[in-house]
Structure formats: structure tokens, C-alpha cells
């Protein structure tokens, strides 16, 4: 089992920045991929960003490219999502995900473990 604990969500204004963190614990055997999905009210859950175990490859949702940066600290088994130039449409519950292996994918089914989510609200 792997446990994921997210932190860093909150209420900000459009244009502000926010950093989400997700600490993994339990059976976090390398290699593994970590990332973020989000879900806004009335909408389907969607992929945001993911990063490989070695940190060399990252993938982003098109609408967040250039604004969001995903990174990881394997010594702390933690993944971060630095969000800048936030927009109201970025408002959602953000979920941290963990999947075994090296493959970077946008498919939610590839990630076995999910955090409970952290709320990000961007006001205009």
C-alpha cells in the first residue's frame, strides 16, 4: 500500500501562485511515477501533470504548459506542483497520484494510488 498526503491548496486571486506538495509513504519502491489530476464541480477528472522517477520526463495538460511546473524529491518521496499565473478555470480539487513503473501517461487508470485531494480556488 502507498499513502499519499497532499498539502498546499487554498484560496488565491487570479494571477497568483501556489505550490502543492504530495508526500508518499508505504511501499514506494522505485521506479514509480507521480503526478496530479484535478476535478472541478460538474466536470470530469482530468490530467494535469506527471513526472518520471528520474525526473527527466514530464508531461503537462496543454492549458497549464508554461504556467505549472512539476518536480519531485525522491529522497523525500515527494512531488510538487508549482502553479503560477493561476486562472479561475484552474479552480478544482487537485489529486496526487502514484503509479509503479517508468511510463509517463495521462491515463488515470495507470495510477493505482490516489490522494484525498486538496482544494484550489482561484478568484477573479
3-state SS track over 57-75: CEEECHHHCCCEEEEEEHH
Q: How far apart are CA 107 and CA 115, in angstroms?
A: 16
Contact in structure between 84 and 61 (CB atoms under 8 Å): no
Asked whether the predicted pLDDT for residue 101 surpasses 90, the reply is no
Find the mean pLDDT for residues 95-103. 90
pLDDT bracket for residue 6 (50, 70, 90)? very high
pLDDT of residue 102: 83
Measured CA to CA, the distance from residue 19 to residue 56 in angstroms comes to 20
Beta carbons of 40 and 119 less than 8 angstroms apart: no
pLDDT tens for 62-97 read 999 999 999 999 888 999 999 999 999 999 999 999
pLDDT in tens, 14-34: 999 999 999 999 988 888 899
Amino acid at each position: 500500500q502507498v499513502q499519499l498526503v497532499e498539502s498546499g491548496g487554498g484560496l488565491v486571486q487570479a494571477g497568483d501562485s501556489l505550490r502543492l506538495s504530495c508526500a508518499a509513504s508505504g511501499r514506494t519502491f522505485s521506479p514509480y511515477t507521480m503526478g496530479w489530476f484535478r476535478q472541478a464541480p460538474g466536470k470530469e477528472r482530468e490530467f494535469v501533470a506527471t513526472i518520471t522517477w528520474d525526473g527527466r520526463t514530464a508531461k503537462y495538460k496543454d492549458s497549464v504548459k508554461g504556467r505549472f511546473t512539476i518536480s519531485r524529491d525522491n529522497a523525500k518521496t515527494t512531488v510538487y506542483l508549482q502553479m503560477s499565473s493561476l486562472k479561475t478555470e484552474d479552480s478544482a480539487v487537485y489529486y496526487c497520484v502514484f503509479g509503479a513503473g517508468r511510463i509517463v501517461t495521462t491515463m488515470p487508470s495507470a495510477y493505482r494510488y490516489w490522494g484525498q485531494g486538496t482544494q484550489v480556488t482561484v478568484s477573479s
